[in-house]
């Protein structure tokens, strides 16, 4: 079932905010979670805040309003089409005051670390690391087959669970495919394989394997899309 949305205006100590949220969520509780239940900060500039919201963890990021509206629209479209979700949208919080700014709230992917942390973790062997990279390439392939590019799938914009299942995050740069834009994302495969294999020859072989896997998953997804039309 696609998410049902609702918009509610709420008074806060900082002024009025307009919250576009899941119909089944209490927007007041969501605002309280954003204001009081912060449990972590993430990212180079610590701009992503992580909050407890009922049984969920949610991630909030602040943007200029126009940017937020556009990004949120893309996230909603991806969710509605159930094709290749990068992050599940939870809310758009339009703050009052000048300059106009808004927060995008998404579901935080629990129990994950970044691909970079995963590939640097000595507890995992080469096969598990390869599995994580292959899984990330497959997720990109699905996104591309759906007609979107990520544009910046570096190892901090991918998170991995302890089994090596990768998920894409960071919707900042996602755009609708324009011609051959999706040739850019797979360039990152070279970097991932370099992080797994210090040895140039092995890294090159695994890079090829990532590209093959990417192509196979993408072609299969495209065939399925055509068949279901
Ligand atoms: N939905 C999520 N699930 C799990 N982790 C997340 C999620 N969103 C963000 N993170 C964590 O927060 C970090 C920064 O998030 P994100 O990439 O969205 O922001 P950014 O603006 O690119 O930050 P940076 O300046 O670090 O690149 C990620 O590298 C990841 O560790
Ligand atoms: Mg990022």
Higher per-residue confidence, 225 vs 130: 130
Q: Is the CB of 185 under 6 A from ligand 1?
A: no
Query: How many angstroms separate the alpha carbon of residue 204 from the centre of ligand 1?
Result: 28
User: Atom 20 in ligand 1: which residue has the minimum CA distance?
Assistant: 43
Cα torsion 15, 107, 84, 183: sign: positive
CATH (residue range 113-227): 1.10.510.10
Query: How many angstroms separate the alpha carbon of residue 154 from the centre of ligand 1?
Result: 11
Residue-range domain boundaries for the chain: 5-107, 113-227
Rounded Cα–Cα distance for residues 210 and 216 (Å): 10
Atom of ligand 1 nearest to the CA of 117: 31
The per-residue pLDDT for range 177-226, each reduced to its tens digit, is 766 667 889 999 999 999 999 888 999 999 999 999 999 999 999 888 77
The per-residue pLDDT for range 109-129, each reduced to its tens digit, is 999 999 999 999 999 999 999
Query: How many angstroms separate the alpha carbon of residue 152 from the centre of ligand 1?
Result: 12
The per-residue pLDDT for range 44-100, each reduced to its tens digit, is 777 899 999 999 999 999 999 999 999 999 999 999 987 767 999 999 999 988 889
User: Looking at domain 5-107, does it have CATH number 3.20.16?
Assistant: no
Q: Are 176 and 151 in contact (CB under 8 A)?
A: no
Q: Which of 39, 48, 110 gets mutated to test ligand 1 (max ligand atoms within 8 A of its CB)? A: 48
Q: Which of 44, 113, 156 gets mutated to test ligand 1 (max ligand atoms within 8 A of its CB)? A: 156
Atom of ligand 1 nearest to the CA of 43: 26
The residue among 189, 182, 187, 165 whose CA lies nearest residue 218 is 182
Query: How many angstroms separate the alpha carbon of residue 229 from the centre of ligand 1?
Result: 35
Q: Is the CB of 46 under 6 A from ligand 1?
A: no
What does the buried/exposed string (b/e) look like for 158-189 if buried means 16 or more CB atoms within 10 Å of the residue's CB? bbbbeebebbbbbbeebeeeeeeebeebbebb
- The tokens for 162 are 């302890």
Query: How many angstroms separate the alpha carbon of residue 224 from the centre of ligand 2?
Result: 31
Topology alike, domains 5-107 and 113-227: no
């Amino acid at each position: 079932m696609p998410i049902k949305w609702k918009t509610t205006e709420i008074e806060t100590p900082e002024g009025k905010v307009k919250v576009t949220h899941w119909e089944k969520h209490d927007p007041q509780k969501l605002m309280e979670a954003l204001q009081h239940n912060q449990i972590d900060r993430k990212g180079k500039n610590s701009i992503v805040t992580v909050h407890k919201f009922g049984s969920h963890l949610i991630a909030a990021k602040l943007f200029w309003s126009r940017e937020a509206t556009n990004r949120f629209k893309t996230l909603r479209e991806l969710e509605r089409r159930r094709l290749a979700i990068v992050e599940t949208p939870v809310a758009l919080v339009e703050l009052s005051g000048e300059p106009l700014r808004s927060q995008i709230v998404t579901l935080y992917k629990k129990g994950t670390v970044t691909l970079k942390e995963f590939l640097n973790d000595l507890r995992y062997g080469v096969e598990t690391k390869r599995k994580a990279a292959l899984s990330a390439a497959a997720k990109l392939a699905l996104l591309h087959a759906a007609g979107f590019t990520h544009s910046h799938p570096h190892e901090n914009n991918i998170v991995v669970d302890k089994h090596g299942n990768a998920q894409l995050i960071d919707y900042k740069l996602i755009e609708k495919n324009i011609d051959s834009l999706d040739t850019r994302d797979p360039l990152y495969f070279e970097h991932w394989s370099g992080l797994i294999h210090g040895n140039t020859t092995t890294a090159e072989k695994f890079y090829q394997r990532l590209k093959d896997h990417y192509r196979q998953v993408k072609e299969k997804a495209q065939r399925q899309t055509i068949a279901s039309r």
